[in-house]
């Protein structure tokens, strides 16, 4: 559970939700399957009121949606550049989504915006900002960049900042 001081910090370092829900028809494209749900439920069932840090949120229709709807007392911090990755821009379907990723995310998660703090930026910079503001997650899900060096850097940073 977030403290009032942590909420104040998140209000400073996270981006603001738009004034109104975007009018875009949101994409439901995701890579989160029933198998992921089973694993998440087993991992998170002991700490259902904690702070979940998601590195890589895409449209908010995958792990973000599962966690916010299954774990009703959990707070989510969703880190993404909201620009899509080079791999997304190579695929014509994904490129259309990536070009409006922030709007897709906001539209998909609009009804839960009181429990979700989106951070626009690179994962290591955002994790560092969270640690500097004494916001320490109970669970970190790493699914941002998919190349070996980036995944390793995210994992190493998360372990160092949030042991």
Q: Note the pLDDT of residue 146.
A: 86
Helix (H) or strand (E) holding 75: strand 75-80
Q: Note the pLDDT of residue 128.
A: 98
Q: Note the pLDDT of residue 153.
A: 97
Q: Note the pLDDT of residue 57.
A: 95
Quick check: pTM over 0.75? yes
- Burial of residue 161 (number of CB atoms within 10 Å: 0-12, 13-18, 19+): middle
Going by the DSSP 8-state scheme, the letter that residue 49 receives in this structure is T
Q: Which residues pair with 55 in a beta bridge?
A: 79, 142
Distance from C-alpha of 18 to C-alpha of 102, rounded to nearest angstrom: 10
Q: Note the pLDDT of residue 160.
A: 98
Alpha helices for 28-147 (secondary structure H): 34-44, 63-70, 86-90, 92-98, 101-109, 123-132
Q: Note the pLDDT of residue 87.
A: 84
Per-residue pLDDT of the chain (163 residues; tens, 9 = 90+): 789 999 999 999 999 999 999 999 988 778 888 898 898 888 887 777 889 999 999 999 999 999 999 888 899 999 999 998 888 888 888 899 999 999 999 999 999 999 999 999 999 999 999 999 999 999 999 999 888 999 999 999 999 999 8
Q: Note the pLDDT of residue 40.
A: 83
Distance from C-alpha of 132 to C-alpha of 35, rounded to nearest angstrom: 34
Q: Note the pLDDT of residue 29.
A: 79
């Amino acid at each position: 559970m977030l403290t009032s001081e942590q909420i104040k910090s998140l209000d400073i370092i996270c981006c603001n939700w738009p004034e109104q829900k975007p009018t875009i028809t949101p994409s439901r494209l995701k890579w989160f399957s029933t198998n992921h749900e089973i694993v998440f439920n087993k991992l998170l069932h002991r700490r259902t009121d904690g702070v979940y840090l998601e590195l890589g949120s895409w449209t908010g229709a995958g792990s973000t949606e599962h966690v916010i709807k299954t774990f009703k007392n959990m707070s989510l911090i969703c880190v993404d550049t909201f620009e899509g990755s080079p791999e997304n821009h190579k695929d014509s379907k994904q490129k259309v989504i990536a070009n409006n990723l922030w709007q897709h995310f906001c539209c998909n998660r609009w009804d839960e915006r009181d429990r979700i703090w989106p951070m626009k930026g690179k994962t290591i910079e955002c994790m560092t900002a969270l640690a500097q503001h004494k916001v320490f997650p109970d669970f970190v899900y790493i699914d941002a960049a998919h190349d070996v060096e980036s995944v390793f850097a995210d994992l190493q940073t998360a372990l160092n900042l949030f042991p």
